Amino acid sequence: MKLVVGNKQKEIDRIPEFNRVEIDLGTGDGRFVYKKALENPNTLFIGIDPSQKQLQIYSKKANRKKLDNTLFVIGSIEILPPELKNCADKLNIILPWGSLLESIVKPTKNTISKLLGLLKKDGEIEMIFGYDPNFDVKASIPEINLEYVESTIIPAFSEMGICTLEIPKDLDTTWSKKLKSSKKRELFKLNIKNIKE
């Protein structure tokens, strides 16, 4: 598994032992992971993103703070490190875009299986997503509205377990700040509790 540590890459074959593990898939610059790690020193936070350059931003800060409860991992929904199989108590997917957003809003059994494969038994997934024509129209993303979420996305993810829907308030992430200029993006939050063995 390839990690970004400051400006460098490092290989590890297993994750450190912590009582609780949370993954942020599509973490971008890793700000969410960094902030959560500062607030919760007994939880391991793993940020996954395909862009080494993006991961370096908060990996450097975590390095300077000597946070031993963060990992910044190079990966994606298409290529998830096998070392992370069944390791997470919680999987966060916050404001995905591109292929990750497409995987969520056009869910297949393969995608659902990959996400489920990251969780421990009784683990949970929290996904916050939405559609903005300024960002998503060029991708093959359907318009995401309440009707689409209830008719297509929830039934697919309900196969994983108990699925609940919320409408989230303001989010404190780097990506959400970039999107604030758009008033057209309606956000949805899905919580899925894994009940599979």
- Which pLDDT does position 21 carry in this prediction? 98
Residue 56's pLDDT is 96
On whether the CB atoms of residues 157 and 114 are closer than 8 A, the answer is: no
Q: Are 58 and 81 in contact (CB under 8 A)?
A: no
Confidence at residue 181, expressed as pLDDT on a 0 to 100 scale: 45
pLDDT digits (tens, 9 = 90+) for 152-177: 999 999 877 788 998 876 555 554 45
Tell me what the mean pLDDT of segment 67-92 comes to. Answer: 97
pLDDT above 70 as % of the chain: 87
Domains of the chain (ranges, CATH numbers): 2-194 (3.40.50.150)
